[in-house]
Amino acid sequence: MEPFLPALSKAGRPSARPFSRRTPGGTPRACSARFKSPVPSSPTACQPASDEDALQREIEELKRKDLALDQEIAQLTAEGYSPEELETHISLLHEYNEIKDAGQMLLGRLALLPAAPHGRAFQSRD
């Protein structure tokens, strides 16, 4: 590996802006030039037939999953569950988890105060 040498100006002194020229040799590019992406603008137009087959298989798999979820929703509705009840239950579970996380943080801080292990804080606070 070559040692790092500072960029020198034409006069032989260290350059004030050693990294200002990023493109080696040639004329510098204009900053106002448009960016040309290396990715084609329409990805489906350039895809071979095998990719289209893979996409078709993925679409079919997603349709099967959608049908299975619809059947599960119908089964839960038939068992007497309502979407509102399930949403309420889920929001209560979120609230419970937030409270539990806050409790875990408090127990962790309590365990640090007397320089006791985390497990001992659970044992002494039960």
* Amino acid 29: pLDDT: 55
Work out the mean pLDDT of the chain and round it to a whole number: 75
- Residue 125 neighbours by CB under 8 Å, 6+ apart: 107, 110
Only one residue has tokens 């992406």, namely 37
Q: What percent of the chain has pLDDT over 90?
A: 30
Dihedrals phi, psi of 104, to nearest 5 degrees: -65, -40
Model pLDDT for residues 54-91, shown as the tens digit of each residue: 999 999 999 999 999 999 989 988 998 888 888 899 99
pLDDT in tens, 84-112: 888 899 999 999 999 999 999 998 888 77
